[in-house]
Amino acid sequence: MPTPPKPFAGFEFMIAWRYIRAKRAEGGVSVMTWISFLGITLAVMALIATLAVRSGFRHEFVGTILGANPHATLMPLARQVEGGRIDRTLHDYDAVAEAVRAVPGVTHAYPVIRGQVMATANGRNAGVEVLGITAGDLGQIPLVAHPEQQQGRLDDFSGGVAIGMGVARELGVSVGDRIRLISPDGARTAFGTSPRVSAYEVAYIFQVGRYDIDRVRVYMPFAEAQTYFNRDGVADEIELTVADPDTVDTMVLSLTRAAGDAQVYVWTWRDSAGAFLQALKMEDNVMFIILSILVLIATMNIVSGLIMLVKNKSRDIGILRTMGLSEGSILRVFFICGASIGVAGTLAGVALGCAFAIWIDPIFAFVNWMAGGGVWDPSVRFLSTLPARLEVGDVMSAVTLSLGLSFVITIFPARRAARMNPVEALRYE
């Protein structure tokens, strides 16, 4: 008794290859093959490109948050002092900062003065947020010490102020120019509180890449900020960075205990950016589902092409069955036909999608040029450029989805071909 051939034998691939490249005059469906191939290629490319951009957004957004902002902030609780006034300042800020630095996982902690004022120069006005900080602590903020773009030297900070690039553009100033800061909470006199107006030289200009930072942030030497905001001998909060920002929530209790008698509460970077992170995560899931449907629609072309191929090759199927080919061999022949289109389209889509993510800057520059500029508004998206980040998990998700759908839907027309009765196939031949 002859030994049955092993599954996916060489002759099965040979027959499948002949059917795939057969022209319409020979009973093939080469046009449908190309349509299926291009559809899967474009769908996989779109999926990978979208996932890469979404990953880039998430990486850049979190990176700028962690690189230009504290990972956690110790804020004093409001308390009533003499005269019924509400006080929200830290008196022993050096001792609290020193105690917080001793908490395992904390890499740096420093006091800060914070306030909102009006900045004016060259007849222009801008609302800004002033942060009072020492020169040494400012040098510990990564994206300020090493920004995307900079003017001036950070070493000159003690003799002036450091401002964001957006503030500099709004006021029309550069390094060496002077800006005036106007605070409504100024000197207290017998007739009430008068606005405080002080002029400062711009010593350093930075651009971290986030519009909401570059457009509003001004750093002032800590001692000068204490005087300017009437915070003599106190600080508004303690900002700190940790070794692993993802685990900062687990350190809240330790940080609160380290503060000791200072009644504070801890505000982490996840508290301030949680809504944005949740929105990005939800958008990732929605975009993946939508583009998965696009891949499904593209793979459905394989089904229609195989159904036409089975109909055109019914005579061949009958002959192959009478020659001794089993139902399993016929099924595998047509499965190889459909699966090979899916594999080829997926590989081409992965190559194009990865190329799009790698060369996104020149591609986007061309699109922006074609549209006449203004496609990207950093005030809406908070980032100065369109980011893209290729991650192995995203590429593998796209590959798994495309190949899985291609293989599964190919089984149905292949089973139809395998179950075809050879007698009925050859009845009218």
Q: Where is pLDDT greater, at 281 or 244?
A: 244
pLDDT in tens, 69-100: 899 999 988 776 666 677 788 888 999 999 99
pLDDT over 80 (residue 361): no
* pLDDT on residue 411: 83
Rounded mean pLDDT, 142-155: 89
pLDDT over 70 (residue 39): yes
Determine the distance from the C-alpha atom of residue 146 to the mean position of all C-alpha atoms in its chain, rounded to a whole number: 21
pLDDT over 60 (residue 375): no
Rounded mean pLDDT, 3-16: 69
pLDDT-derived band at 425, boundaries 50, 70, 90? low
Rounded mean pLDDT, 391-418: 85
**Residue with the two structure tokens 């583009």:** 291
pLDDT-derived band at 263, boundaries 50, 70, 90? confident
* pLDDT on residue 416: 76
Q: What letter represents residue 213's amino acid?
A: I
Rounded mean pLDDT, 18-24: 67
φ, ψ of residue 164 in degrees (nearest 5): -70, 155
pLDDT over 60 (residue 26): no
Q: How far apart are CA 295 and CA 403, in angstroms?
A: 10
Scanning 313-326, the segments in alpha helix (DSSP H) are: 314-322
pLDDT in tens, 188-224: 665 566 788 899 999 999 998 777 889 999 999 999 9
pLDDT over 90 (residue 332): no
Rounded mean pLDDT, 303-308: 77
Residue 303: its H or E element: helix 269-312
Q: How far apart are CA 162 and CA 385, in angstroms?
A: 23
pLDDT-derived band at 34, boundaries 50, 70, 90? confident
pLDDT over 90 (residue 161): yes
Average per-residue pLDDT for the chain: 82
Whole-model pTM above 0.85? no
* pLDDT on residue 98: 92
Relative to beta strand 72-76, strand 86-87 is unpaired
For residue 247 the two structure tokens come to 């685990």
pLDDT-derived band at 342, boundaries 50, 70, 90? confident
Q: How many residues can be counted in the chain?
A: 429
DSSP at 262: S
Residue 116: its H or E element: strand 106-121
For residue 126 the two structure tokens come to 């801008």
Q: Where is pLDDT greater, at 396 or 310?
A: 396
Rounded mean pLDDT, 244-264: 87
3-state helix, strand, coil in the chain (%, to 5): 55, 20, 25
Scanning 4-134, the segments in alpha helix (DSSP H) are: 10-21, 30-68, 93-101
pLDDT over 80 (residue 5): no
For residue 426 the two structure tokens come to 């050859």
